[in-house]
Amino acid sequence: MAYDHRSIEAHWQRYWDEHDTFRARRREGRPKLYILDMFPYPSGAGLHVGHPEGYTATDIVARYSRMKDIDVLHPMGWDAFGLPAEQYALQTGTHPAVTTQKNIATFKRQLKSLGFSYDWSREVDTTDPNYVRWTQWIFLQLFKKGLAFQDLVTVNWCPLLGTVLANEEVIDGKSERGQHPVERRPLRQWMLRITEYADRLESDLEGLDWPRGTLLMQKEWIGRSEGATVTFRIQGHPESFEVFTTRPDTLFGATYCVLAPEHPLIQTIVTDAERSAVTAYVAKAKNRAERDRAASKQKTGVFTGAYALNPVDDKPVPIWIADYVLMSYGTGAIMAVPGHDGRDWEFAKAFGLPIVEVVKGGNVSEAAYTDSEDGELIHSGLLDGLKPPAAKLRILAFLEERGLGTKKVQYKLRDWVFSRQRYWGEPFPIYFPVTTDGDPRTCAHTVHFDQPIAVEESELPLRLPDLEDFKPGDDPAGPLARAVDWRFFQKDGKWFARETNTMPQWAGSCWYYLRFVDPTNASAGWSPEAAKEWLPVDLYVGGAEHAVLHLLYARFWHKALFDLGFVSEPEPFKRLVHQGLILGEDGEKMSKSRGNVINPDDIVKAHGADVVRLYEMFMGPLEAVKPWQSTQIQGVVRFRDRAFTVGSRTTTDSIDAATQRLVHKTIKKVGEDIDRLAFNTAISALMVLVNHLQPQDPVPKEAARALALLVSPFAPHLGEELWSRLGHAQTLAYEPWPTFDPALVTEDTIELGVQVNGKTRGTVRLQKDADADVARALAEADGEVIRFLAGKEVKKFIYVPGRIINFVVG
């Protein structure tokens, strides 16, 4: 009897819907699990095979946990603001809201067709005014707390496209789209003071059950480093400049200084002889994206003609300009110690600058010696003979005494540029006073950006105006600036102007996990009770591309909300796992242009949802990057069909010992594998069970029951179908997960490898806990082993019960 996946899967999906099977419920005193997926951006392309990968993984854990009588919150929603909808609107004139709703409908249909056990009553949409309202509300809390402020930020401005571009959209100073020139230009932006949380964002990483690499990346991104600022006076000028260094101990080895091309002192100190070269270099560097600058192997730079005075000995050192020094880190100026810093060394080599050794231990004519713990200071006056850590303390004391430097903790983390000059985002709930002679919509006017005013919380949400034209235009204020009737309003006879920037897509995704605990609350983003019931998120699964930005931004918001008393846990996501990228059949990243995109709909149609789920979980470890292979699908189709055939046979109460052992071993293995998210090996164990049962007809009832229950988290439609065929009227979603008898999962006798000098030469079968003499006697009797031991002296005999026997012979 063939398995008709179409009707069976449709039947069970209808059943779950009608019975509200997966509605989250919280019972007093029960354990809970909040299992969260990174919610998708509902793109026009529809679901990608990468989505069901992570979503199946969490669904397996959710279904398994319900069967273990744990209260489960497993929600889904839409991260629906964003650029593609706006760009589509630009091309077609369709309002982004329309496109977005259409795409959401498609995504929802697709996700439902895969049988995920979401509590759909909690669905959220970041563009829904009822959601935007609370995004804006959180922004206002940040604003009132002084964490949101405005600043001038240098951005990639493309005058022809009329828009700000991401670094990756700028290639060699030209826009990726259209090859138009791009200039670096300061623009008024809203910023969030994430740097205020740098310390805690770093220290609280400890104790999170996250991938080690992700923790390291966040730590590195925050980039805490302890060092000092040192003041350098400039020869023949009243001005001085500060540098930040992590190695003040090497100050005697500073043979030149470097300013970032944007450094404000450049025009003051440059000599006439060097002026034209400097101006040309600065102009060129100015329009290079920071990433280009940091990535280039070849160091470039130019001499200013000016000299700085080393504070330790007043010796003049040349001041250079180079784009490997970034204005956005530290003070935008460095003291260069080529003997003990790799980049300074390369620069000095390239420009023939002197390299002085001040820490013994390496060979500075070959490479910089960068060890900051070991070595001995030389050529360093008062520091001579010290080790670097001691030298640091000594020089700091010296500098502080003279007011020439001080201890300083520096972070790489920068404040977060939080505004975008786009249409399809949350409007800022902020307005400004306007000075005008008449009606600012038609008359000349001045907007006082330095006096931002918060919109009353009771007036939220502040909705987007309806626009016909979403083009950015030539006004860097963004498209909302053209909605003059929305932008300008009168209050108490005075004119005001709304902020016309919008928030970035991050805003909505920074707190959606909070909304899920209380999604329909109309008087708050969430209630403290609901938050206590479900937070923190126990398992969060999503792509590694979010390792830093999204996960750091969300942690930052969470901590700010924690400080304000709106949540009671300092961290939002307890356990984090990244699913690996699924590549195309050609081993390349899936993309429309390569034509290697697999549409999950096609696989569902041809083979069923359970097959998509089983295949994606069987492909390999969840976290591994792995290529799609259509030919492999056949394997899980066979498994699914065979499991159905075997599981729907008539059953018998009798069971042979070997089958019983295997059933119990499988229960153990599948449970343990789900716990460690090793779904590929869990499915493999289920295949072994089914293969074992294949020749048995009738099939033992105990085995058939276990099969239906164990397979159900992976292939829920199949599981339910088998369960109902076993005579059950109810769903198995809350059926207790089967337990195993420990006595039945261990063998009495085992086969053990016998090695001679570490090479396996034979095997012996013995009691699991046999003692060494018995093991040795058995091993020495093995035909192969005899040959390899013949005529040799056994120097050592190693027996690790249950593991190995090894003869070391001479």
Partner RNA sequence: GCCGAAGUGGCGGAAUGGUAGACGCGGCGGAUUCAAAAUCCGUUGUCAGCGAUGGCGUGUCGGUUCAAGUCCGACCUUCGGUACCA
Judged by CB under 7 A, the chain residues 201 through 230 that form the site for RNA are 211-214, 216-217, 220-221, 223
The one segment of 113-121, 563-571, 630-638, 721-729 that binds RNA by CB under 7 A: 630-638
Closest distance to RNA from the beta carbon of 294 (Å): 4
Where are the alpha helices (H) located in 430-548, listed in sequence order?
Answer: 484-487, 506-509, 512-515, 528-534
Q: Which two tokens stand for residue 172?
A: 């060699």
The one segment of 91-99, 367-375, 528-536, 626-634 that binds RNA by CB under 7 A: 626-634
DSSP 725-793: HTT--S-STTSPPP---GGGSS-SEEEEEEEETTEEEEEEEEETT--HHHHHHHHHTSHHHHHHHTT--
DSSP 349-405: HHHT------EETB-TTTS----SSSSEE-S-GGGTT--HHHHHHHHHHHHHHHTSE
The one segment of 373-381, 442-450, 480-488, 676-684 that binds RNA by CB under 7 A: 676-684
Q: How far apart are CA 167 and CA 326, in angstroms?
A: 15
> Of 113 and 501, which has the nearer Cβ to RNA?
501
**Residue 749 lies near RNA (rule: CB under 7 A):** no
**Within 421-450, which residues bind RNA (CB under 7 A)?**
421
Closest distance to RNA from the beta carbon of 669 (Å): 10
Q: Which two tokens stand for residue 291?
A: 């990433």
**Within 83-102, which residues bind RNA (CB under 7 A)?**
83
User: Is the previous residue joined to 504 through a cis bond, with omega within 30 degrees of 0?
Assistant: no
Closest distance to RNA from the beta carbon of 684 (Å): 4
**Residue 505 lies near RNA (rule: CB under 7 A):** yes
Closest distance to RNA from the beta carbon of 57 (Å): 14
- Which sign does the torsion angle of CA 182, 185, 190, 196 carry? positive
Binder to RNA among 65, 117, 141, 156 (CB under 7 A)? 156
**Is-contact 117 16, C-beta < 8 A?**
yes
Among 415, 405, 425, which residue's Cα sits nearest to residue 465? 425
> Of 155 and 234, which has the nearer Cβ to RNA?
155
Binder to RNA among 144, 236, 760, 769 (CB under 7 A)? 760
**Within 319-378, which residues bind RNA (CB under 7 A)?**
342-343
Site track for RNA across 48-87, x = CB under 7 A: -------------------------------x--xx----
Site track for RNA across 276-315, x = CB under 7 A: --------------xx--xxxx------------------
**Residue 758 lies near RNA (rule: CB under 7 A):** yes
**Residue 44 lies near RNA (rule: CB under 7 A):** no
> Of 117 and 502, which has the nearer Cβ to RNA?
502
Q: 597 — alpha (psi -120 to 50), left (phi > 0) or beta?
A: beta
Closest distance to RNA from the beta carbon of 709 (Å): 19
Q: Is 164 helix (H, G, I), strand (E, B) or coil?
A: strand
**Residue 634 lies near RNA (rule: CB under 7 A):** yes
Site track for RNA across 581-620, x = CB under 7 A: x-------x----------------------------xxx
Among 1, 21, 50, which residue's Cα sits nearest to residue 542? 50
> Of 670 and 687, which has the nearer Cβ to RNA?
687
Please count the other Cβ atoms lying within 10 Å of the Cβ belonging to residue 747: 11
Binder to RNA among 386, 614, 662, 752 (CB under 7 A)? 752
Q: How far apart are CA 109 and CA 424, in angstroms?
A: 24
> Of 397 and 624, which has the nearer Cβ to RNA?
624
Binding-site residue total for RNA (CB under 7 A)? Answer: 102
> Of 311 and 476, which has the nearer Cβ to RNA?
476
Closest distance to RNA from the beta carbon of 555 (Å): 13
Closest distance to RNA from the beta carbon of 312 (Å): 28
Compute the radius of gyration of the chain from its Cα atoms. Answer: 33
Residue 545 CB contacts under 8 Å (≥ 6 apart), including other chains: none
Please count the other Cβ atoms lying within 10 Å of the Cβ belonging to residue 196: 16
The one segment of 53-61, 239-247, 371-379, 407-415 that binds RNA by CB under 7 A: 407-415
Q: How far apart are CA 115 and CA 765, in angstroms?
A: 46
CB-count burial class (<10 Å; 0-12, 13-18, 19+) for 676 = exposed
Binder to RNA among 19, 177, 768, 803 (CB under 7 A)? 803
Binder to RNA among 203, 268, 276, 629 (CB under 7 A)? 629
Binder to RNA among 185, 286, 387, 414 (CB under 7 A)? 414
Binder to RNA among 187, 327, 597, 745 (CB under 7 A)? 187
**Is-contact 320 303, C-beta < 8 A?**
yes
**Within 563-582, which residues bind RNA (CB under 7 A)?**
581
What type of residue sits at position 538? D
**Residue 154 lies near RNA (rule: CB under 7 A):** no
Closest distance to RNA from the beta carbon of 556 (Å): 11
> Of 22 and 615, which has the nearer Cβ to RNA?
615
What's the CA angle centered on 331, arms 329 and 335, to 5 degrees?
A: 105
Q: Is 683 helix (H, G, I), strand (E, B) or coil?
A: helix
- Which sign does the torsion angle of CA 580, 583, 585, 590 carry? positive
**Is-contact 239 269, C-beta < 8 A?**
yes
Closest distance to RNA from the beta carbon of 594 (Å): 12
**Residue 668 lies near RNA (rule: CB under 7 A):** no
Site track for RNA across 527-546, x = CB under 7 A: -----------------xxx
Closest distance to RNA from the beta carbon of 773 (Å): 18
- Residue that has been written with the tokens 């869990």 in this structure: 682
**Residue 681 lies near RNA (rule: CB under 7 A):** yes
Binder to RNA among 397, 784, 792, 794 (CB under 7 A)? 784
Closest distance to RNA from the beta carbon of 82 (Å): 4
Residue 73 CB contacts under 8 Å (≥ 6 apart), including other chains: 24, 32, 33, 34, 35, 119, 122, 516, 517, 534
**Within 223-262, which residues bind RNA (CB under 7 A)?**
223
Closest distance to RNA from the beta carbon of 225 (Å): 12
**Residue 467 lies near RNA (rule: CB under 7 A):** no
Binder to RNA among 635, 649, 671, 744 (CB under 7 A)? 635
> Of 232 and 411, which has the nearer Cβ to RNA?
411
- Residue that has been written with the tokens 């990174």 in this structure: 38
Closest distance to RNA from the beta carbon of 298 (Å): 10
Return phi, psi of residue 605, to 5°: -65, -45
**Is-contact 92 84, C-beta < 8 A?**
no
Contacts 24+ apart (CB under 8 A), 341-347: 341/247, 341/250, 341/368, 341/370, 342/367, 342/368, 342/370, 343/299, 344/368, 346/299, 347/258, 347/299, 347/301, 347/320, 347/322
Closest distance to RNA from the beta carbon of 166 (Å): 2
Closest distance to RNA from the beta carbon of 132 (Å): 15
